[in-house]
Amino acid sequence: MYNKQYLNFLSGLILLFLSHSLMANVITIEITGTPFNPIKIAVVPFQWQGQNLPPAEIASIITSDLYRSGRFNPIKETELTSKPVKGSEIVFADWEKLDVDYVVVGQLNQRNSKYEIRFELFDVFRGEQLSGYNIPSRTKQLRNNAHVISDIIYEKITGQKGDFATQVAYVTAIKKQKQLQYSLHIADSDGYNAQQIVISDEPLLSPAWSPDASKIAYVSYEDHRPLVYIQETATGKKKKVISFFKGINGAPAWSPDGKKLALTLSQGDNPDIYIIDLANNSRTRLTKSFAIDTEPAWSPDGRFIIFTSDRGGKPQLYRVPSIGGRIQRLTFDGEYNARASYSPNGQNIVMVRGEGGKFQIAVLDLGTGFLRILTPGNLDESPSFSPNGNMIIYATENQGKGILAAVSLDGSVHQRLKLQQGSVREPVWAPYGRSR
């Protein structure tokens, strides 16, 4: 028998989503909170050498990237006492007075219809250059190349790979002539360059990126029942997965090697977790119970699948070997734990935790068993780790509208990513995948 509280919550989310008039626009980011022990960095405005105004403010993009990472505290442009544009102009003593750890300088040069971005990164304390590149670019590549520079700076200083040049996917809808029109979008990690890749008069749910970030699996009701599709983001080519059984066909999750999908299938019975081999369409059943088993997610090494089940009376998280075997309960704290996924290093699980009618984003440390609540919201859902595992994007509500939000893994930095109009749901962060 289905858990009544679980079904009521899911119904509430669907009604909330459908009740909003949604519109796809550029996402704006509001950042609150202060990072723990932030790295102080100065990104000096890049010198522009070209006609008219520069087509992109490279330094501003880099500054925004580093700040929203939760690891850096860039100083404001108004606080700069000098504005060098190349390394030979830097007076390190001036930056030491500002207590700045690192300085970034550069130029954006126009070469006919093309551009060249030059940047240099310096360690103020040591007075030495850490990195520097000349990057050729076309106009449409300037923002992405600025993100690439942010990634280089982030990795050089922290020793960890950056993820600013990655993408996110999310679902929106707009009311047209008394009917909702749904769209699946992909955008840069800062919300810019949004592209509509799927449009439908029926609901779109549960987008999931392939490991190489070239495809997205999602659930569509375009045939008036839930079916799973896979679509190439570059070409728009799509195909229907073999989940065409009666009842529920949903919650797709890619295996780490991209060769399989874990799905929730009911086949006329209770929902259970299955694995579909994409090469031959064979399927393997992992769970069999009288409960609702749904929302599968793979461990990074492919050995395990976590999922949500109300087999214990209320929705909690469980783990099963991906080849089948003994099922283990993972969560006991809280009356509701669901919609989980692994961190890229496999050490943590992010989830929606419900208690007393509030649904918040929480992280479980699999090594210690310690669970940390990260968000203050009342209706937070659909959490997804960034590729390096330092940030988590999720959907929430603000002033009656669905918005995207993000929080750092330590909970110190919070972000709101708002559409100019309307609402948005179902965010998922793309893996590193192929370069764009």
pLDDT tens sequence across 197-216: 999 988 999 999 999 999 99
The answer for residues whose C-beta is within 8 angstroms of residue 280's C-beta and 6 or more apart is: none
| pLDDT tens string 340-364 | 999 999 999 999 999 988 999 999 9
The answer for residues whose C-beta is within 8 angstroms of residue 130's C-beta and 6 or more apart is: 102, 121, 122, 123, 156, 157
Domain match, 14 and 81 both: no
Domain match, 393 and 247 both: yes
Domain match, 98 and 211 both: no
Domain match, 204 and 267 both: yes
Q: Which two tokens stand for residue 424?
A: 């948005």
Domain of 54, CATH number, reads: 3.40.50.10070
Q: How far is CA 199 from its chain centroid?
A: 21
Final residue belonging to a domain, choices 139, 158, 177: 158
Which pLDDT does position 21 carry in this prediction?
A: 33
Q: Which of these, 302, 406, 419, lies nearest to 361 by C-alpha position? A: 406
Beta bridge partners of 262: 253, 275
**Residue 163 amino acid letter:** D
All residue ranges of the chain with pLDDT < 70 are 1-36, 242-245, 268, 418-422, 434-436
Domain match, 218 and 129 both: no
Which pLDDT does position 28 carry in this prediction?
A: 60
Domain match, 154 and 238 both: no
The owner of tokens 């009666």 is 246
Which pLDDT does position 6 carry in this prediction?
A: 41
Distance of alpha carbon 431 from alpha carbon 388, whole angstroms: 9
Q: Considering the domain boundaries, does residue 182 fall inside one? A: yes
The residue segments making up the domain with residue 147 are: 34-158
Domain match, 121 and 245 both: no
Domain match, 109 and 256 both: no
Which pLDDT does position 34 carry in this prediction?
A: 62
Q: How many domains does the chain have?
A: 2
**Residue 115 amino acid letter:** Y
Distance of alpha carbon 146 from alpha carbon 155, whole angstroms: 14
Distance of alpha carbon 367 from alpha carbon 343, whole angstroms: 13
Domain match, 362 and 231 both: yes
Q: Considering the domain boundaries, does residue 59 fall inside one? A: yes
